[in-house]
Amino acid sequence: MKKTILGIVVLSFALFGCGEKKTEVAKAAVAKGDVAAGKALAEKSCKACHGADGGSVAPAIPHLAAQREAYLLASLNEYKTGKRTHAALRDIATKMSEADLLNVAAYFASLPPVAVAAAQDVKHTSPYETGKALAASCGKCHGEDGNAKTPGTPTLAGQQPHYLAAAILEYHRDDRKKTSMKSVTLDSDRMDVEKLALYFAAQTPVQRAPPTRGDAAAGEASSAMCGGCHGAHGVSVDSATPSLAGQDAEYLGKATRSYRTTRQNWGMQRYIANLGDKDIDNIVAFYASQQPKAGDQIPSSIQELAAKCNHCHDQEGNPAMTAPKMNGQDKDYLVMALRAYRDGKRESTTMHNMSFPYSNAIVEGLASWYASQPAK
Ligand code: HEC
Ligand code: HEC
Ligand code: HEC
Ligand code: HEC
């Protein structure tokens, strides 16, 4: 199933739940509304914001034209019952009868889609593209694609994205003593840090030079307690926990020892405290000689991510699917809606919950992408 692709790390949308509670909605949609009556009502009560043609009159108001009827009806009912909160719409929806709701949903669904105002430069708004441009300044040490070659300099390619962002911020805060890194990353703001992390996380890691010390076989045995967090053979499946597989041995040794002194992560300190230098050399030899691998769940472009959203959102001819159409939707509205799900301000029967740590950058990128697509 698609569950593993989307689920664990990048975005935790619960993909089950798709069919749940939908029968009710689908049944309601079968009772067709009266388009002419819906039109009269829309002209009176909706036009001021949603336009005569169902096109939004201002940023952050959604287009309604050509939206799925079942979705429009479900949303209106959610405003009415207070499940979805918006003061104006609650007011409007509570005054409407069941028939009014059906009619107005039928009317907006029957309208042709609004033309996308201006084709946007998607490259310009893609967090991956921006991340790549920002990464140019890291290339001379970490490699253009994040595959560093100098001993002591870590590979960033394929590293877990949340961890990467956290690591950059640790240098900002001086939690890690390395002034050269602080100066190179200091001017990047939080969104830039997310974009850099996203770009590097999406690159394919290359195995570093083999370790020159330590006994990998002995290291494997002593790494048993590390694998629970860092993943089998050092490939992490958690976006906040770094992969260690194939990482530069010199860097790994230094990083591990630094938890005894300068690095402030107490969780890690506990595991390192009882290890002698020889144990560390062995464990490092083991991890450094493992095959590196980028996390499965890390998409490498907005289009790739959108393709996953489209499993639900682009399902023509599936009456049970109440996921709304998004192509050509107002960008600011999409940003707002996605943040509302992420921040738990908008509920969804499909548990449309995002837990992606770079969500501001990703949300922005996805919203720009959908807003720039021609509506169908
Ligand atoms: C005062 C401006 C205003 C008026 C009038 C108004 N709306 Fe809205 N409508 C909005 C805004 C803003 C939102 C986004 C609210 C949110 O964040 O949930 C919205 C959202 C919606 C949605 C949800 C769309 C989606 O993609 O999730 C539906 C359906 C809707 N309105 C239908 C109507 C109908 C039908 C009427 C008239 C009976 C109406 N609205 C009148 C401003 C308005
Ligand atoms: C002058 C060389 C140099 C440049 C330029 C540089 N780095 Fe680094 N970077 C290093 C070194 C050396 C380390 C290891 C430092 C340490 O031991 O803490 C490091 C460590 C890191 C780490 C920690 C990795 C981990 O596994 O914990 C991250 C993240 C990072 N750099 C990101 C960046 C980014 C992003 C840029 C560009 C904005 C950048 N670096 C530019 C040399 C550099
Ligand atoms: C309870 C979970 C957990 C366990 C067990 C654990 N780690 Fe970690 N490890 C983490 C997390 C989380 C981080 C990131 C911490 C940070 O931001 O400094 C980390 C960071 C590291 C780093 C820094 C990587 C880098 O790129 O800078 C190394 C090296 C490391 N761990 C090695 C080990 C070793 C060796 C063991 C076993 C002896 C171990 N860890 C056990 C969770 C764990
Ligand atoms: C498992 C199916 C599923 C997947 C996958 C999915 N969605 Fe949704 N989405 C839904 C459903 C169902 C709704 C309606 C929920 C509600 O009523 O609030 C929805 C609503 C939305 C809305 C609100 C739109 C509006 O008009 O108010 C946005 C924005 C959205 N999804 C974006 C995304 C993005 C971006 C992705 C991919 C990263 C995605 N969705 C993946 C099922 C899905």
Residue 311 in any domain: the answer is no
16 plus 102 within the same structural domain:
yes
Judgement on whether residues 216 and 268 belong to the same structural domain of the protein? yes
Q: What is the pLDDT of residue 188?
A: 61
7 and 113 share one domain: yes
Q: What is the pLDDT, as a whole number, of residue 292? A: 96
Please report whether residue 349 resides in a domain: yes
What's 188's domain CATH number?
Answer: 1.10.760.10
Q: Whose CA is nearest to atom 39 of ligand 1?
A: 46
Mean per-residue pLDDT pooled into runs of 10, the chain (376 residues): 31 33 44 91 97 94 95 94 90 95 97 75 76 91 96 96 87 72 63 87 95 96 93 91 97 93 80 92 98 84 86 75 87 91 74 54 88 88
Are 217 and 97 contained in the same domain? no
Whether 158 is in a domain gets the answer yes
DSSP 234-266: G---STTS---TT--HHHHHHHHHHTTTT---H
With respect to residue 90, please indicate whether it lies within any of the assigned structural domains: yes
The reported pLDDT for the residue numbered 25 is 44
d(CA 17, CA 6): 14
pLDDT of residue 322: 72
Query: Are 153 and 237 within one domain?
Result: yes
Counting the structural domains of the chain, the total is 2
What is residue 299's predicted lDDT score, i.e. its pLDDT? 78
Residues in the ligand 2 pocket, defined by CB under 6 Å: 137-138, 140-142, 152-154, 156, 164, 167-168, 176, 178, 180-181, 184-185, 196, 242, 254
Q: Are residues 274 and 151 in the same domain?
A: yes
Write down the pLDDT at residue 178. Answer: 64
Q: Which domain covers residue 348, as residue numbers?
A: 3-119+322-372
- Whole-angstrom distance, CA of residue 89 vs CA of residue 2: 35
Q: Backbone phi, then psi, for 147, in 5-degree steps? A: -95, 95
Q: Tell how far the Cα of 133 is from the centroid of ligand 2, in angstroms.
A: 16
CA of 146 to the centre of ligand 3 (A): 20
Atom of ligand 1 nearest to the CA of 46: 37
- Whether 323 lines ligand 4, by a CB cut-off of 6 Å, is yes
The ligand with the least distance to the CA atom of 64 is: 1
What is the model's pLDDT at position 242? 96
Residues 186 and 326 in one domain: no
Ligand 3 centre and the CA of 152: distance in Å? 17
CA of 331 to the centre of ligand 4 (A): 14
Q: Are 309 and 18 spatial neighbours (Cβ–Cβ below 8 Å)?
A: no
Site to substitute for ligand 3 among 230, 233, 280, most atoms within 8 A of C-beta: 230
146 and 252 inside one domain: yes
User: Distances in Å between the alpha carbon of 133 and those of 123, 199, 301?
Assistant: 11, 9, 14
For residues 162 and 54, membership in a common domain is answered with no
| Cα(259) to centroid(ligand 3), Å | 9
CA-wise closest residue to 170 among 259, 37, 276: 259
Put simply, whether the predicted model's pTM sits higher than 0.75 gets the answer yes
Which atom belonging to ligand 3 lies closest to the Cα atom of 170? 17
Show which of 268, 288, 308 is a domain's final residue: 288
Mutational test site, ligand 2, from 173, 181, 248, max ligand atoms within 8 Å of CB: 181
pLDDT at 20: 38
**Do residue 228 and residue 155 come from a single domain?**
yes
- Residue 218 C-alpha to ligand 2 middle, in angstroms? 30
Give the closest ligand to the alpha carbon of residue 164. 2
**169 in the same domain as 280:** yes
- Nearest ligand by distance to the CA of 150: 2
Whether residue 56 lies inside any domain: the answer is: yes
Is residue 200 in a domain?
yes
Measured from the Cα of 167, ligand 2's closest atom is 29
Rounded-to-integer distance, Cα 226 and Cα 139, Å: 30
